Structure 1
Amino acid sequence: MQDVDMKALWNEYDRKLETALQLNRQQAYTITRMKVYSLLQSVKPVKILAVITGILWVLLVDSIIVRTWAFASPFFLVSAIVQVLLTKLAIGIYVYQLVLIHQAQLNAPVLTTQRRLAALQTATLWVPKLLFLQMPVWTTFYWNSGMLLHGNLVLWIIQGLTTLAFTLAGVWLFLHITPENRHKKWFRLLFAGKEWDGVREAMDLLSETEGA
């Protein structure tokens, strides 16, 4: 009887221990979800401000294009149109990010939240990729026919090298701003801000929870 009682007590202890461990894991998941939700909510104001600022900028540039269409330099018009189109794409991506943040719920499964965070991370990187792609047009909007016809060779060389450098830099950044490069020094310098850090920290928290 003593052996039977001891086995019963041991089994009861194992059951209680497993129940306690399961409860602790559930509490850890709940706390993690709360932290992730808090991090995502903390980056929302930055994205909302970016959308508002972007819309105001687009309205300004569009109005300038319309008002100067008849007499402005073709270089100015093309540069402004390229810049404003890329800005509109960036605004659309910001709106998509806000939708993803809105869909993040405290009671959502971890895998579902991870997928949304991965999409949010990718979308967060697409905004600077598009904005850096604008770099060349900031060196061409002031070109005009007089500059091309009457400019000297030194001016052409300086302008050409400047535009080429901005183009190469913009394309390089567009191609290399990826999650795989997030640990590199230049990437950390470019993205040392709350908007990126909040998403990254949220993903790290979920990864730690999944591996626990």
Structure 2
Amino acid sequence: MEDAAIINLWKDYSRKLDESLSLNRKNTEDIIHMKVKSMLNSMQPLKVFAIVVGILWVCFVDSLIIGLFHAASIFFLASAIIQVLLTKLAIGIYLYQLILIQQVDISQPVLATQNKLARLQSTTLWVTRILFLQLPVWTTFFWTKNMFTGESIAFNTLPVTVTLLFTLAAIWLFANIRYENRHTKWFKLMFDGKEWTPVMKSMELLDEMKEYK
């Protein structure tokens, strides 16, 4: 009888221990999910601000293009059109990111949340690459045809050189802003903020939760 009683006590203790561990695991998962949601929500104000400023800027530039279409130089129009198209594309990506953040649900499986985080990570890199492509057009909007005729060619070597350097910088950044370079100093300097850090920390938390499980 004593052996049976000890066995029953052991089974009862083992059951309560399993229940306690299961409860602790569930509480840990809930806390991690809430932290992830909180960090992602912290990204929203900056994205909303970027969208509002972007829309105002697009409206301004579009009005300039329409109003000066028959008077402005081809260089100004081409620069403005390229810049505003890239800005519109960036606004679209920011809107998509806001939708992704809203879709993150703490009750969802970890894999579903990780998938959304991966898309946030990827689109953050893409929007940055796209915005840097604007660099050259900020140096060409004031160009005129007269810059490339007669004695003006030598005088305008400097602005052309600046445009070339900006173009090379834009191409280099577009090619090198990749997840594989996240450990480099220039990448960390560029992405240390609300656009990137919350996503990376959220992914790390979910990875830790998977290991814990």
Specify the SS of the correspondent of 2:71: coil
Which residue number in structure 2 is paired with residue 28 of structure 1? Answer: 28
Matches within 5 A, 1:52-91: 52-91=52-91
Distance 1:160 1:67 in 2: 27
Matches within 5 A, 1:53-202: 53-150=53-150, 151-153=152-154, 155-156=156-157, 158-202=158-202
Note the C-alpha offset of 1:163. 1.7
Counterpart amino acid of 1:95? Answer: L
**TM-score normalised to the size of structure 1?**
0.94
Note the C-alpha offset of 1:107. 1.2
Note the C-alpha offset of 1:161. 2.5
Note the C-alpha offset of 1:154. 5.2
RMSD: 1.4
Note the C-alpha offset of 1:136. 1.1
Identity %: 52
Paired residues, number: 211
Name which of structure 1's ranges 143-152 and 133-142 shifts more when overlaid on structure 2. 143-152
Distance 1:179 1:31 in 2: 28
- Runs of 5+ unmatched residues, structure 2: none
Note the C-alpha offset of 1:62. 0.5
Name which of structure 1's ranges 137-146 and 82-91 shifts more when overlaid on structure 2. 137-146
- Runs of 5+ unmatched residues, structure 1: none
Residues 115-172 of structure 1 show CA distances to partners (whole Å, capped at 9, x for unaligned) of: 111111111221111110111111211110111114142532x233222211111111
Distance 2:125 2:20 in 1: 41
